[in-house]
């Protein structure tokens, strides 16, 4: 039972819904603030930024990984969207700490959109990483176990694009090849 903020308010009955909406919005704004504010503004630790990366760029992946592991869907969605923007921009941020969380989301998140966004971020990170081939190989091993045909098809397209960019051909099983060439929407 909650105690109303203003006892004389005529909107006491609707406070529950308004409160939940307000709480959700505040949580999302807080997550956005964590993603947008540099780490050195959040922490009293005095670290000397390197000449090539600012402090937030060095530690952004760690913060984002924490949000990706959140049980709050809005935080996870916001973190994935922000990662997509950063991974496709000219900003140089260390995103290696988010890789385990992205693979977990790709493998088992119940939200189809989260799995697609995780796969997209993995693709972008692979382009910028010296470990790009290992990232894409791991994605290739997980595609067969993906429960959604749509996510499988999109992943196969991404893998084929990556391999083509590396001057190689995509090697897949006959079943995945049949799915890959199957007509229809991804």
DSSP code per residue over 50-110: PSSS-HHHHHHHHHHHHHHT-S-HHHHHHHHHHHHHHHHSS-----GGGHHHHHHHHHH-S
CB atoms within 10 A of CB 85: 12
Does some domain include residue 49? no
The whole-number average pLDDT for the span 63-86 is 92
Please state the domain count of the chain.
1
Q: Is residue 5 part of a domain?
A: no
Q: What is the pTM of this model?
A: 0.67
Q: Is residue 26 part of a domain?
A: yes
Instruction: For CA atoms 63, 64, 68, 74, give the dihedral sign.
Output: positive
Most confident range (mean pLDDT) of 61-70, 125-134, 155-164, 169-178 is 155-164
pLDDT tens-digit profile of 120-157? 999 999 988 889 999 999 999 999 999 999 999 999 99
Which pLDDT value is given to residue 7?
44
Which distant-in-sequence residues (6+ apart) come within 8 Å of 166 by Cβ? Answer: 133
Average of per-residue pLDDT values in the chain: 78
Q: What angle do CA 127, 86, 135 make, to 5 degrees?
A: 30
Q: Averaged over 27-38, what is the pLDDT? A: 47
The reply to whether 2 falls in a domain is no
pLDDT bin (cut points 50, 70, 90) of residue 118 is very high
- Is residue 68 over pLDDT 90? yes
Half-sphere exposure of 47 (CA within 13 A, CB side): 17
Report the alpha-carbon distance of residue 12 to residue 43 in Å, rounded: 39
pLDDT in tens, 33-56: 444 544 444 444 444 545 555 565
Q: Which residue has the higher pLDDT, 158 or 22?
A: 158
Give residue 71's domain range: 15-39+58-181
Predicted pLDDT of residue 114? 96
Q: What is the CATH number of the domain that holds 165?
A: 1.25.10
Is there a domain that residue 45 lies in?
A: no
Q: What is the dihedral of CA 114, 116, 119, 124, to 10 degrees?
A: -100
Residue 144 maps to a domain? yes
| 93 vs 104, more confident | 104
Per residue in 160-170, pLDDT (tens digit) is: 999 999 999 99
pLDDT at 128: 86
Whole-number pLDDT of residue 72: 92
């Amino acid at each position: 039972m909650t105690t109303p903020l203003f006892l004389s308010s005529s909107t006491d009955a609707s406070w529950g819904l308004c409160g939940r909406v307000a709480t959700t919005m505040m949580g999302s704004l807080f997550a956005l603030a964590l993603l947008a504010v540099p780490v050195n503004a959040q922490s009293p630790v005095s670290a000397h930024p390197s000449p090539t990366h600012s402090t937030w760029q060095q530690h952004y992946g760690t913060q984002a990984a924490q949000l990706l592991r959140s049980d709050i869907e809005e935080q996870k969605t916001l973190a994935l969207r922000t990662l997509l923007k950063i991974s496709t921009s000219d900003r140089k941020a260390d995103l290696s700490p988010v890789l385990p969380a992205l693979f977990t989301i790709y493998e088992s998140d119940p939200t189809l959109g989260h799995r697609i966004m995780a796969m997209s971020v993995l693709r972008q990170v692979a382009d910028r990483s010296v470990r790009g081939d290992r990232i894409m190989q791991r994605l290739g091993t997980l595609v067969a176990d993906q429960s959604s045909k749509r996510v499988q098809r999109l992943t196969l397209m991404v893998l084929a694009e990556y391999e083509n960019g590396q001057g190689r051909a995509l090697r897949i099983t006959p079943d995945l090849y049949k799915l890959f060439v199957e007509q229809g929407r991804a």
